[in-house]
Structure 1
Amino acid sequence: MAFLQVSSLSLAFGERVILDKVAFTLAPMSKAALVGINGAGKSTLMKVLTGGLSPDDGEIVLSKGAKLAYMAQSSKVEAEATLWQQVEHAYDDWFAYEARAHALMELGDEESLQEASALHDRLAHSSFYQRTSLIDATLRGLGFKESDFIKQVKHFSSGWQMRIALAQVLLSEPDILLLDEPSNFLDTETSVWLMDWLKRFSGGLLLVSHDRYFLEQVTNETLELFNGALKRYAGSYSQYEVRRAQELEQLMKLRQQQEERLAQIEDFARKFRASPSKASLVQSRLREAEKIREQLPSLPETTKQMRIVLPKPPHAGERVLYLEDLQKSYNDRLIFSDLTLLVEKGERLAITGLNGAGKSTLMRILSGVEKADSGYLKWGSGVEIGYFSEDTHQPFMGKSVLEEMESQAPLHLQPEVRNILGAFLFNGDAVYKPISVLSGGEKARLLLARLFLKPFNLLILDEPTNHLDLQSKDLLLRALKEYRGTLIFVSHDRYFNEQLATSVLHMQAEPRYYPGDYGYYLDQWAKGGTGQLMRAKQEQSLLKAIKEEPKVITNSQQERLQNKAQAAKVRKLKRQEEELLLQIAEQEDTLAQKQAMLADEVVYRDVGRLKEVQAEIASLEASLETLYESWQSITQELERDT
């Protein structure tokens, strides 16, 4: 039986302990999730297991004849070989066995023939002679087309090169498989294929992933790495979460009790430190306090009640975005066509589809970074867009992470900057890092964090969870669920989609719309449902009416829209609406600044100044209420007249 056994594995970098007497076993059908906060040492442990790093102490035993395969987060493949040739390298050992068997057969002596027979028997019990069909199925499962098979590897993007590396690992017939974030670069459909493959895998698996749904579907035990120590939890990932939550609750109660005892001892010591008759008792209590501090349990970062909140979105009309017959091509390749869509206020639209289907292209078009070849795109009144993509090229002018955030944050959000950075994994001294030395993933997290500094009523997010750990994903998800603006997003994280989406647009040559949550979309997709070819074809008359040059809907509406006085009234109302929204935004900013002044020591220590600021706040709130009522009245009138 093939197995990997780890005993008393220890590793430290200077004074920082990464692994402290780590021990576990991976046997056939052991499918373990390796979890821990960002920086806990998960990838480091993987590297130690595969020989990339040497431990300070401990033992790693791989059973005789067992094969271990490892895929790191950055396992890119660049080569002159074609895709097929590169992936076929997974069988190099078997090709060597075949060549040796042929050479032994030619020698012809009895001993050589016996060895050759053993090699042929080993080849027959492997997948070597079925490799053509297996390579074909694996490459197609990972999203490659037959036309890609003869394409040179060096011409594939970095994401597709990661898929090539994954294909080689899967085809190498490992007994023990180590995967570090294998689903990071996969779309939803390909991720499902990989989950099914791993469920059927009969060897031992150690998996690092920040995709909760992926872990839940694949693993049957969880190994948690915390403060260098490793603890095993049997059962599914959700069962681990329940048990871990119970343990943390008990741990927090114990710590609270110990902290209360420390407070009692410190209070006793303060009262009787100067009393000679109590000196020995004070010293005894202080020794007790020292022991309590040494045994005080450490709490993981996940116990901190951190919360991040997106700024209140500015007011906008009910119709946020409308597209009609949008089309985009690159050279002779059609990306999508006939895209007609209406996005309404408060909608959370998930965009799905295979890699290359046009998801990111559409997001760039919606954000104004790129233009469609043809079609009609119009934003609703008062729409303010916040756009995130890890491919965004942003000059940062040589600042540190903290300096960049502080320069972008309005006065009332300055106290929250550190909290926001912590949510996006910039903790401790990491906030002082020059942006010029950040990795691509770190820069992407910084760009995402900046969205929490300014008010937007439409967020367009392209893969916002790619470089976040589970805790940060949960914080972002909670913030987006509480957000009262409109959201258009792309994510390959199924749990994220299930929790957030209220509608789904599936990208293909002719995009399809599903007017329900992500579960509804998956259910319809599984049943072969094709969704709506164009959501707005059923609302075509509505879109026609929304345009700057309204067209007929009914005879009575046609008469109104053709009346010049009526059209002039509509234009005037729209101008008034825009002016009101601008006034509202300006006054909301002023109000936020005044409210922030209440926390200023100079203000709250000066009673006269404090009353003055409070009076200004009351006046602004009353003025805003009047503006809100006026804006609502104009909006209602516009809806009646259009």
Structure 2
Amino acid sequence: MIAINNLTFEIGARALYDEANWHIKPGEKIGLIGANGTGKTTLLKLIVGDYTPTSGTISMAKDLTMGYLNQDLLSYSSDKNIVHVAMEAFERQNQLHDEIENLLKKLETDYSEDLLNKLSDKQHEFELLDGYNIEYKAHEILAGLGFSEEDCQRKLSTFSGGWRMRVMLAKILLQAPDILLLDEPTNHLDLPSIQWLEDYLKSFEGAIVIVSHDRWFLDKVINRTVESRKGKLTVYAGNYSFYLEEKALREDIQRGEFKNQQAKIRQEERLIERFRAKASKAKMAQSRIKMLDKMERVDDVDDDNPTVNFSFRFSKQSGRHVVTLEHITKKYPTIDILEDAEAVIEKGDKIALIGANGRGKSTLLRIIANADKDYAGTATTGHNVTTTFFAQHQLESLHLENQIIQELQAFAPKHTETELRTILGSFLFTGDDVFKKIKVLSGGEKSRVALAKALTADANFLILDEPTNHLDMQSVNILIQALQQYEGTLIVVSHDRYFLDNVANKIWFIEDQKIKQYPGTYVEYDEWNSNRKLAPKSAPQPKKEEKKAEPVKQQPTENKSQQLKKLNQDLGKMEEQIAALEKEVKGIEAQLADNTIYNQSEKAQQLTDTYQLKKLELREQQARWEALAEQIMELER
């Protein structure tokens, strides 16, 4: 389909690609991954012909059609409504539509057979190209990407850049090309739209190449992973999780080969030193020196996974109730966000606030942070609570003339320079990078600086609005590690499900203008929510046959006593079972907390599966206990 052979691409004196090779086959769904700066976006531009290789070839069939979504499309604008913009994908159908309209106009005065035949041919071709359904298809895809019917009538120019990007994505999907090239397609999508796009791409018949930092999204869609690293392209025959396992295995093998080779080199060098001193052995020594020179050296494995090695500090612990929301009502002229909503954030909560865009997630964060006071009701901050609020607009508050290290020193004067350098190193600012001025940084780099600032604050409550925007996978992993170590309370909005699943122990969502809560991880919530959607809504319950005119008989007292005794016995047994399950769950949690378990991937996976099953069993037993306890209370009345 597309063959990349010995590709070299140089920027100045630096070779971004050095004789790289890669063949894209029909129907493959590929994740193109790699650290920032390794040339992923550049490679897509080389494939579509925006850039020319320094050497090597990129060959493909002449009739191959490509759909390319790139971040440059953010600036595209039009005064047409978004349905018309999306329908520009149907170039031939639109051309035929205009020709048919012209022919119909001519037929008002000219009834010639020639015109009738032309009209019939055009209409036949239009029907074969499914032209009568193109508007329906456009509406369908726009709805999947989060646009309402009212939105569809608005001009593209009235939308923000992120929403315009969604329209451009819809247009590319409607083209149904032979291959889709998608550069960060989830950047401007909310969770429902990402999930819709996953399903769409899984059923897409053509090939797909995706550049994305959203590993959950990649795992759901791709069946091949290609890593761009050190100027080469390495193919892995599976999704992102498979890539991680396979790469670890390859690195273990490489590490072993490196150690063995180094031991052999040291042995040869010792022999050469011994032989070199004797004239009779000089020839042998020279021969061994030549052999060493010709030896193809195995490289040691580079550590691409930096770890967080600093600890959070805050000078005082918060009270039990961090924020209490009571009777909160928040409305905008066109939408009601909250109506008499209530919720409590308790010490130690790590909350993921999720949902579609426009449901009020960022508004709720601002209310919690006391940054929005235009609402009814009360939001009470608890005793000794110190707050840091991170949001994307706060990137603008960075001091452009400051060096990175100066920015952190001014914000966190109690930290030593060594501590601040350690924190910045965790966010990939090493060596002289810390002396770069803020004004020369990219959007992603500024995000990392702002996050580093937030994490150095003397705060026991973190409020984070889309902290993973503009972060690559390495940086997301660093943030996950940092928040897992954080002993305070936090609430976060993000569309990165892998991130949420690794940092949150509670899920909040806004539904029916109320704040609702699920007490568990994102994976557990996702399973619960999927089952909830599958359950029939307000389905009529089958009615039991009722015997009319037959009064309810009062149970004799002795029977009631016997029944209570039996139920209390059952309750006691159930409490013993719950206690045993709780002990099992805690035991498994202790095993999972031991990092050495992850050296045995199969055992770790089995233990994780057992943990999930035991937690589910525990929740079910607790629900049965509650039902039985209510039954006993009813009988005791």
TM-score normalised by length of structure 1: 0.74
Query: Is residue 17–residue 232 contact of structure 2 (8 Å, CA) maintained in 1?
Result: yes
Distance 2:100 2:210 in 1: 36
Distance apart, 1:61 and its partner CA: 2.7
Distance apart, 1:230 and its partner CA: 0.9
In 2 relative to 1, CA 207–405 (structure 1 residues): closer, same or farther, beyond 3 Å?
Answer: same
Query: Is residue 306–residue 478 contact of structure 2 (8 Å, CA) maintained in 1?
Result: no
In 2 relative to 1, CA 345–119 (structure 1 residues): closer, same or farther, beyond 3 Å?
Answer: same
In 2 relative to 1, CA 70–380 (structure 1 residues): closer, same or farther, beyond 3 Å?
Answer: same
Cα deviation digits, residues 322-368 of structure 1 (max 9, x gap) = 11112222345322222211111111111011101111111122223
**Which letter maps to 1:59?**
T
RMSD over aligned CA atoms reads 3.5
Distance apart, 1:445 and its partner CA: 1.8
Distance 1:103 1:187 in 2: 42
In 2 relative to 1, CA 255–368 (structure 1 residues): closer, same or farther, beyond 3 Å?
Answer: farther
Cα deviation digits, residues 227-280 of structure 1 (max 9, x gap) = 111121112322222111100112223334445556677888999999999988
Distance apart, 1:78 and its partner CA: 1.7
**Which letter maps to 1:528?**
R
Distance apart, 1:124 and its partner CA: 4.0
Structure 1 match to 2:592: none
Distance 1:214 1:53 in 2: 28
Structure 1 match to 2:91: 92
Distance 2:10 2:327 in 1: 59
Distance apart, 1:484 and its partner CA: 1.3
**1:502 aligned to which of 487, 501, 505:** 505
Q: Secondary structure at the match of 1:324?
A: strand
Structure 2 match to 1:19: 17
Q: Secondary structure at the match of 2:4?
A: strand
Distance 2:499 2:232 in 1: 29
In 2 relative to 1, CA 113–210 (structure 1 residues): closer, same or farther, beyond 3 Å?
Answer: farther
Distance 2:100 2:334 in 1: 50
In 2 relative to 1, CA 18–317 (structure 1 residues): closer, same or farther, beyond 3 Å?
Answer: same
Cα deviation digits, residues 308-333 of structure 1 (max 9, x gap) = 44413441212211111122223453
Cα deviation digits, residues 146-185 of structure 1 (max 9, x gap) = 1111212122112111111111111112111000110111
Query: Is residue 26–residue 205 contact of structure 1 (8 Å, CA) maintained in 2?
Result: no
**2:340 aligned to which of 338, 341, 346:** 338
Please give the residue correspondences for 1:163-562 in structure 2 after superposition, counting only pairs within 5 Å: 163-259=166-262, 295-297=297-299, 299-302=301-304, 304-313=305-314, 314-392=316-394, 393-396=396-399, 398-410=401-413, 413-427=416-430, 430-508=433-511, 509-528=513-532
Distance 1:487 1:17 in 2: 43
Cα deviation digits, residues 508-542 of structure 1 (max 9, x gap) = 42332223322332233223379xxxxxxxxxxxx
Q: Secondary structure at the match of 1:75?
A: helix
In 2 relative to 1, CA 282–432 (structure 1 residues): closer, same or farther, beyond 3 Å?
Answer: farther
Distance 1:266 1:305 in 2: 34
Distance 2:349 2:286 in 1: 64
Q: Secondary structure at the match of 1:244?
A: helix
Distance apart, 1:68 and its partner CA: 0.4
Q: Secondary structure at the match of 1:23?
A: strand
**Which letter maps to 2:16?**
I
The farther-off stretch of 152-161 and 251-260 is 251-260
Query: Is residue 82–residue 152 contact of structure 2 (8 Å, CA) maintained in 1?
Result: yes
Q: Secondary structure at the match of 2:313?
A: coil
Distance apart, 1:67 and its partner CA: 1.1
Distance apart, 1:505 and its partner CA: 1.1
Structure 2 match to 1:4: 2
In 2 relative to 1, CA 410–256 (structure 1 residues): closer, same or farther, beyond 3 Å?
Answer: farther
Query: Is residue 349–residue 490 contact of structure 2 (8 Å, CA) maintained in 1?
Result: yes
Cα deviation digits, residues 568-623 of structure 1 (max 9, x gap) = xxxxxxxxxxxxxxxxxxxxxxxxxxxxxxxxxxxxxxxxxxxxxxxxxxxxxxxx
In 2 relative to 1, CA 319–4 (structure 1 residues): closer, same or farther, beyond 3 Å?
Answer: same
Distance 2:222 2:30 in 1: 5
Distance 2:427 2:115 in 1: 62
In 2 relative to 1, CA 384–86 (structure 1 residues): closer, same or farther, beyond 3 Å?
Answer: same
Q: Secondary structure at the match of 1:356?
A: coil
The farther-off stretch of 134-143 and 268-277 is 268-277
Please give the residue correspondences for 1:543-622 in structure 2 after superposition, counting only pairs within 5 Å: none
**Which letter maps to 1:95?**
N
Cα deviation digits, residues 277-319 of structure 1 (max 9, x gap) = 9988887777666666x734264452x5532444134412122
Please give the residue correspondences for 1:44-59 in structure 2 after superposition, counting only pairs within 5 Å: 44-59=42-57
Q: Secondary structure at the match of 2:352?
A: strand
Distance 1:58 1:123 in 2: 42
Query: Is residue 37–residue 301 contact of structure 1 (8 Å, CA) maintained in 2?
Result: no
In 2 relative to 1, CA 58–490 (structure 1 residues): closer, same or farther, beyond 3 Å?
Answer: same
TM-score normalised by length of structure 2: 0.74
Query: Is residue 383–residue 458 contact of structure 1 (8 Å, CA) maintained in 2?
Result: yes
Aligned residues between the structures: 526
Distance 1:251 1:279 in 2: 34
Distance 1:20 1:377 in 2: 58
Distance apart, 1:198 and its partner CA: 0.2
Distance 1:474 1:24 in 2: 28
Q: Secondary structure at the match of 1:316?
A: coil
Unaligned runs of 5+ in 2: 535-637
Q: Secondary structure at the match of 1:507?
A: strand
**Which letter maps to 1:83?**
I
Distance 1:439 1:416 in 2: 24
Unaligned runs of 5+ in 1: 531-642
Cα deviation digits, residues 457-476 of structure 1 (max 9, x gap) = 11111111122222221222
Distance 1:429 1:116 in 2: 71
Distance 1:501 1:154 in 2: 37
In 2 relative to 1, CA 358–108 (structure 1 residues): closer, same or farther, beyond 3 Å?
Answer: same
**Which letter maps to 1:45?**
L
Q: Secondary structure at the match of 1:191?
A: helix
Structure 2 match to 1:80: 79
**Which letter maps to 2:24?**
L
Query: Is residue 310–residue 453 contact of structure 1 (8 Å, CA) maintained in 2?
Result: no
Query: Is residue 505–residue 512 contact of structure 1 (8 Å, CA) maintained in 2?
Result: yes
Distance 1:288 1:407 in 2: 57
